Amino acid sequence: MKRIATTIGLVALGTGAATAGGIDRSGQNISILFEQGRYAEFSFSHSRPEVSGTDSPLVAPNGVVVAPGGGSSGDVAKNFSQFGFAFKSDVNERLSYAVIYDEPFAADIEYGPGSFNLATPDNGGTVAKAHAHALTALLRWKFDENFSIHGGLRAQQADGHIALRGAAYQNPFLPPGTPGSEGFNGYDVDLKRDWAPGYVVGVAYERPEIALRVALTYQSSIKHEFDTYESGAGVAPGESVTEVKTPQSVNLDFQTGIMADTLLFGQVRWVKWSEFLVDPQNFLSNPLSSGEGLIGLDNTITYTLGVGRKFNDTWSGAASVSYEQKDNHLISPLAPTNGRLGLTLAAIYTQDNMKITTGVNYTTLGRAAPETGTPDTARADFRDNDALSAGVKVGFAF
């Protein structure tokens, strides 16, 4: 039971996180802390999301139809790959440590020229690109066989670029072609690379004889101060500093043996996306922004439940289901998904001191309506979208 209890983490709990919460990528897994002895693992996953929609009719406040609707956004979510590394070792019988590298948050959204609302034929489409790398150093202290605490520091690097294009970002109160009518259609902002610290704290309860473990882990928000350059429509070109918080989160992980060689496992993950705001100085100074920034996301709770089974000394397998509730159907065009339901299948091969975990995840994405806040009205209709992910993790005990 112990052998499969700590093996299922990356693929069974992690692969489906590729589209959770819009830009949540890794799930910030710390399960390596509970491996036995000295252990190292390398992971890779690749995801192919398909996220597309059609324009809704665009009507100005005076009733004039600016765009008839029906234009295609194209597949706005680009394929992406994830890499990870982790190492764990014991200092003594009570104290152990781990170092984890992951890519916790990212976005790669680009609207195609077929969308009149969110793209322009001659100046590209609305774009959101962001990426974060994190290195976490953790300590775990075991009070006895049952109770332990863990915690440590996290260093995170992030950067981003956002471009706004299309009629949905024009000034709805002015006729097209008049001075000032472009609104934010043509706006660009670059957030230069920045490092910032955070922390992790948690507690765990275990009963090894039945492979029971319940672990609660809090990951702090991380405040970046990005050197920022804004240009294009709606702003005076200039440099400033933009504070952006990547969100705090709580993971509740659990597992228990339910019969011989069979494990029930799961996770509840809460992420405070409402504190993830991108508010560049010059953008906010334009009255057309109404004091609202570039991104607004709702908090998410993601549930995962699965079963793992050891078939023999070499092979184990797992299946899990993940669910994230739909929220406000009006969402940011820069993260155009709303809830999800995913299925993950994983296989674990064990030979001597090596474990290879492979898995595949299929996720359906909830219907969503991108809006630009000028005013809060649906600019497009996204439905029938999904994502396919596959991953592999190779671990060595030594």
What pLDDT shows up at residue 284?
A: 93
How many whole angstroms separate alpha carbon 328 and alpha carbon 342? 20
User: Please, which residues bridge with residue 316 across strands?
Assistant: 310, 348
Q: What are phi and psi of 125, to 5 degrees?
A: -115, 170
Neighbours of 324 (CB within 10 A): 28
Cβ–Cβ under 8 Å, residues 84 and 98: no
How many whole angstroms separate alpha carbon 343 and alpha carbon 35? 25
pLDDT at 14 over 60: no
Look up residue 355 and give its amino acid: K
Q: Give the chain's count of helices (H) and strands (E).
A: 2, 25
Which residue shows structure tokens 């039945």? 210
What pLDDT shows up at residue 12?
A: 44
pLDDT in tens, 158-192: 999 999 999 889 888 888 788 888 999 999 999 99
Q: Angle at the Cα of 326 (from 325 to 328), degrees rounded to 5?
A: 140
Q: Angle at the Cα of 300 (from 295 to 305), degrees rounded to 5?
A: 145
Q: What is the DSSP string of 60-101?
A: -TTS-EEE-S--B----BPPEEEEEEEEEEESSSSEEEEEEE
Neighbours of 193 (CB within 10 A): 13
pLDDT in tens, 199-228: 999 999 999 999 999 999 999 999 999 999
How many whole angstroms separate alpha carbon 149 and alpha carbon 215? 9
Span 329-342, average pLDDT: 85
Q: What is the pTM of this model?
A: 0.92
**Torsion 364-368-372-378 (CA) sign:** positive
Per the structure, the complete domain to which residue 350 belongs is given by 2-397
pLDDT in tens, 281-306: 999 999 888 888 898 888 999 999 99
pLDDT in tens, 254-282: 999 999 899 999 999 999 999 999 999 99
Span 322-331, average pLDDT: 82
CATH of the domain at 202: 2.40.160.60
Nearest CA-CA partner of 366 in 334, 331, 320: 331
Which residue shows structure tokens 């439940």? 305
pLDDT at 354 over 70: yes
pLDDT at 5 over 80: no
What pLDDT shows up at residue 18?
A: 47
Look up residue 211 and give its amino acid: A
**How many residues can be counted in the chain?**
398
**How many domains does the structure of the chain reveal?**
1
- Mean model confidence pLDDT for the chain: 89
What pLDDT shows up at residue 374?
A: 58
Please, is 327 exposed, middle or buried when counting C-beta atoms within 10 Å of its C-beta (0-12, 13-18, 19+)?
middle
User: Please, which residues bridge with residue 268 across strands?
Assistant: 252, 303
Nearest CA-CA partner of 368 in 341, 392, 338: 338
Category of 28 on φ-ψ map: left (φ > 0), alpha (ψ -120 to 50) or beta: left
Q: Strand, helix or coil at 13?
A: helix
How many whole angstroms separate alpha carbon 113 and alpha carbon 311? 51
How many whole angstroms separate alpha carbon 347 and alpha carbon 107? 29
What pLDDT shows up at residue 375?
A: 61
Radius of gyration of the chain (CA): 23
